[in-house]
Chain A
């Protein structure tokens, strides 16, 4: 099943808003204080669980998790690759 990018973006925005962070898909999460390096791992574990994907070690880089848009891109790409 293909995962819609827009759904991932909306889900993650809601998650961050529930934690008190006013973010959009382009917000730089580290710079905005919405994420630290260990939160980032929690975020990865969450998307793995929510979308049934496995994030390989090589994907755990700043370029894939600096913003919600980047996380959504990674999730949809890995999802598409696994179908």
Chain B
């Protein structure tokens, strides 16, 4: 059974889509910068095939979740608390799956039961924050123009970062999140997420967490100097061939077969 629910939260409302297959843990997917829960649409049939429960969340100001009020900030404290509200609703051990800058929700130690953490090219090293850092160097007004261009570019905004096999219609669908996002949410999370990546705060927060961790990287994303970092925190690494930063749409089966099989470490 798949349902989309709206959860009340201190700062507004959070949209969550949940698919239940059986009693047990839930894989909770958190999208990266600018994207919404439809990023994970390919996961639902594969979760069912694996007999896994899964949920996808829109962070505040993205997708169908409301932005925080003007007197609050879109920082990763508020966003982490939104994820905690979702976890509370799910009321089960959580396999947390974080794409890109969503890793920053771990800046605030989760108080809900986490079984495992899987990063899809999560922000751990400065080099992981190249795009968001470029945004962080803009003024808020420049960023507004940038977001409008992303929205207008649609599928083209992924040119050079997504393999050519992904249908344009699917990329347009994913890019439609740029049309709906709250610009303040986009800018403020880009700034905090990139700065906290660069100063090592996210990495340190991740190191402090005892849960098993896995890191998936697209082989097409190019060289990455995080090997020692992953080894030092006993984090398993998996490479996804023929995929890059948007691996979950480029090669969903390879990605989700790993994500839903937590025995693979």
Contacts and interface: CB of A to CB of B under 8 A. Distances in A.
Contact of B146 (A38, A61, A65): A38
A51 B152 CA distance: 19
A28 to B, nearest CB: 12
Interface size class on chain B is 10 to 19
A41 interface: yes
B160 A38 contact: no
Given A30-B159, A30-B160, A62-B159, A37 B168 contact: no
Contacts of B158: 37
Contacts of B154: 57, 60
Given A30-B159, A30-B160, A62-B159, A38 B168 contact: no
Nearest to A55: B152
B264 to A, nearest CB: 34
Contact of A60 (B146, B153, B160): B153
B159 A41 contact: no
A57 B154 CA distance: 8
The secondary-structure label for the interface of chain A is helix
A22 interface: no
Contacts of A41: 149, 152-153, 156
B80 interface: no
B160 A36 contact: yes
A37 B157 CA distance: 5
B156 A37 contact: yes
Interface string A59-72: 01110010000000
A62 to B, nearest CB: 6
Interface in B147-174: 149-150, 152-160, 168
Contact of A62 (B146, B152, B156): B156
Interface in B33-79: none
Contacts of A61: 155-156, 168
Interface in B115-164: 146, 149-150, 152-160
Contacts of B152: 41, 44, 57, 60
B156 A42 contact: no
Nearest to A66: B159
Contacts of A42: 149
A34 interface: no
Interface of A: 30, 36-38, 40-42, 44-45, 57, 60-62, 65
Interface of B: 146, 149-150, 152-160, 168
Given A36-B159, A41-B152, A44-B152, 8 more contacts: A37-B156, A37-B159, A38-B149, A38-B153, A40-B153, A40-B156, A45-B149, A62-B159
The 10 A-B pairs of least Cβ separation, nearest first, read A37-B159, A41-B149, A41-B153, A37-B156, A37-B157, A38-B149, A37-B153, A41-B152, A60-B156, A40-B156
